[in-house]
Amino acid sequence: MEHRIQCAKCGAEYRVDPEKIKGKPARLTCKKCQQLIRILPAPGGDFEVQGGTLKSPLEPRLPEQIGSFRVLKAMASGGMGDIYLAKQTGAEGFEREVVLKVLHPHLARDVNFAKALVDEAKITVRLHHPNIVQMFNLERQGELFFTVMEHVPGRSLAAIQRAYRRMGRSMALPMAVYIACEVLEGLSYAHELKDENGVSLEIVHRDVSPSNIVVSQDGWVKIIDFGIAKAQSRLSQTQPGIIKGKFAYMAPEQFMGTVDSRADLFSLGVVLWECLAGVRLFYSQTDVDTLQKLLHLDPPPINLTRPDIPDGLNRILTRALEKNPDKRFQSAREFRAALLSFMAPMTIEEMRRQVIIAPGGGNVAELFKNEESEQPEPTPVMRAQDMLAHPGTVLPPAAARPTSARPRWLVPGLAAVLLALMGGTAWLLLRGQENPLHPDAGAAVSQDQDGGASAEMAAPHAEPAPEDADAGPAALEEPISSPATDAGVADGQKLAHTPPQAPVFLSREMVARIMRRSGARFQACADRHLAGSGQTQGVQLKLDFTIAQSGQVTQAAIAPPQLGGTDFGRCLLEALRRVPFPRHRDQSVTISFPLEFEAVKPVAP
């Protein structure tokens, strides 16, 4: 059976004969946008696709037309439905791009959900504000039920946060505060909106999160998905055990069923904290652990992770993140005024210029350079019957599960990942320093063979994506053959063998970056062996290790030496041996890397 591969950049689809690439790395170039797509063999005869998506042969193909809209590409898919970028045409050559959110058929057939969505759409279509993505219409075409929304050429805040983490940078303070202020401006408008009789419409977003905030390339900020959240909450009332939202951003009272506009302020407080810290606040590997953190753990001060941030902003965030809504800011207007007062004399326009041209790089335009425009993905509906025994009842703190090796932090010199509660003291992994090499300890990185300084390299397989091109409708490629040499790809139709990754110069900055990306491995050791042990003093240690030319850690030791005989020390050394360093040009490289763990007491429920 042929594989179907969809380009991640433009959505074009290609057919690939699996027999012609069996067990061999291969690549193709998208004929529409010139995106490079790599096809790598995986265990069990499967394939891993980079720069594209391997589609199921049973998955429906991209529709060409939805109602009166011509579909340009698929943008995302989730628990509620599918999102498409489409073009609307009219008389005399009129055209505009819109976003279509098409409900899954089973939701469209649900009478209660459909009614809730229609009721909310009648309200949210009234929202006309520069900081809110406009909903134009709610339409039905046969069995398809979909909303038509404004298209914002930009990136979700979630994508921007990921880009900063990849770059090893933290978001500039003016940029983070500016985004929060613009979101609060939109929330204030929606929260205070009244009908023709002067009665408050009591609009609450319920799902303020990075994926529902869009930042355009020139620094404008918009919120999406007003109304969808309340419709989904209506669905949860008819299907027990379903809670709508992204748990890591939900206000505690949302789990009890009592929600007003102050819930949105808590959610934005989480968003702002994460923008500044560069790490997730309440998120854990399981929804259960996330919920326990959200309900029982007070956020650490932001200047613990960002020492450059004054106490004034920490006080603002602490108030926004109060678990009792009566202790929070009571309106979006009040929250925004506090942020503007803190930033004075810098004006909102001066902050916006930081978004367009941030000092030292890291601005939105730079992040956009090799990225396609996107709208945030729909939020999946998540089943929560294993989290809440019944509405209003909260489970006691659960033992934390081992943290996966997936990197959750990339900010140099900042605190890393909060642990899930384990009944006693939680632990926070603090800085792995930006410069991991200590000449006084005899650690050194050798220079290249010509005596020049080592050069940094991008992450393995990371290649800049070409600029977007207007490619028109998707077309399927003919079956692809694989030439024996890596001579390039002729008109995007042929696959070439991917050569082995060339050895790199392993610079100190690269080592630091890779170690930070692997922080969750070391955090998992604290999960298992420090939390719940009764120990309350911080732990400072140093990992001394040698990286062979193959990228494998061949020798490793821990200081102080007595830690090496403990379960915690053995766990750290084993985690270190699993860190994926690239092949490099030196015979070996010796590193000295400090780690620091600090105990964090959970707040009593």
In 357-411, which ranges are continuous DSSP H helix?
Answer: 364-368
For 307, residues 6+ apart whose C-beta sits below 8 A from its C-beta are: none
Q: What is the pLDDT of residue 60?
A: 64
Q: What is the DSSP letter of 255?
A: G
Backbone angles phi, psi at 267, to 5 degrees: -60, -45
* Residue tagged 């500044």 (tokens): 276
Averages of pLDDT over runs of 10 residues in the chain (605 residues) are 76 76 78 82 72 71 81 79 87 87 83 78 86 90 85 88 80 93 96 90 90 87 76 46 66 85 96 91 80 84 86 95 95 97 93 66 57 40 30 32 32 28 40 37 31 28 31 33 32 44 74 82 84 72 87 88 87 91 82 77 47
> What do you get for the CA distance between the two ends of the chain, in Å?
55
Strand partners, 39: 26, 49
What the block records as the tokens of 311 is 């106490």
Q: What is the pLDDT of residue 501?
A: 63
pTM of the model: 0.56
What residue ranges define each of the domains in the chain, with the CATH number in brackets? 3-61+458-469+478-492 (no CATH), 154-383 (1.10.510.10), 426-449+504-600 (no CATH)
Q: What is the pLDDT of residue 363?
A: 60
H or E segment and range at residue 29: strand 26-29
- Cα separation, 23 vs 539, whole angstroms: 46
Q: What is the pLDDT of residue 416?
A: 29
- Cα separation, 385 vs 522, whole angstroms: 32
Q: What is the pLDDT of residue 369?
A: 57
Spell out where 472-549 has E strands.
539-548
